[in-house]
Amino acid sequence: MTQKQNNIEIENSLPAEPAAVVSDRLMNDRIFVWSNGSYRLVLFSSIAWLQADRAYCYIHLKDGTKIIVIHPLKEVLAALPPERFARVHRGYAVCLDLVDRVIGNTIYIGKQDFMVSSAYRDDFHSRFRFLGKVKGLHKARSLENNK
């Protein structure tokens, strides 16, 4: 069989679906990141937090490992689902599902603590329900109510 006949046979065996349908098949729970010379699969559910380091970003996983990628935090965060991840500081973004404690302007994911800067505080607090007063939050809301 010649190469041309082989190519025709392969083309005839491919599905006749239009290429635009491929977007419907995107796997919305993962991303491939370029790290150490290859693309590495990272499930969104395995990401604990992101750490900025100039033009690089460390992706910290739940299992304690971290992956360095050659993209700034802003670009990595833009590739993740916004309902699950939020920036809390110039240098950090966290998985909202893993936040287990809030003390003042500090949040915790396990034993790791993160300061929530004033620039991101309102957005962060708006993503959760609080029973009772939250230091700093009740003042901001009472000021809004007086307007």
| 49 and 95 Cβ atoms separated by less than 8 Å | yes
pLDDT given for residue 8 in this prediction = 55
pLDDT given for residue 10 in this prediction = 53
For the chain, what is the domain count?
A: 1
What predicted TM-score, i.e. pTM, was given to this entire model? 0.73
pLDDT given for residue 21 in this prediction = 40
Residue 78 amino acid letter: A
pLDDT given for residue 20 in this prediction = 39
Virtual CA dihedral for 83, 138, 102, 96, nearest 10 degrees? 0
Low-confidence ranges of the chain (pLDDT < 70): 1-25, 134-147
Full residue range of the structural domain in which residue 102 is found: 3-145
Crossing angle (nearest 10°) for helices 137-145 and 118-126: 80
54 secondary structure, DSSP code: T
Beta strands in the chain (DSSP E): 30-35, 38-43, 47-53, 56-61, 66-69, 85-89, 92-95, 101-103, 106-109, 112-115
Q: What is the CATH number for 12?
A: 2.40.50.1020
Distance CA 99, CA 125 (A): 12
Tokens 């833009």 appear where?
A: 78
| 76 and 95 Cβ atoms separated by less than 8 Å | no
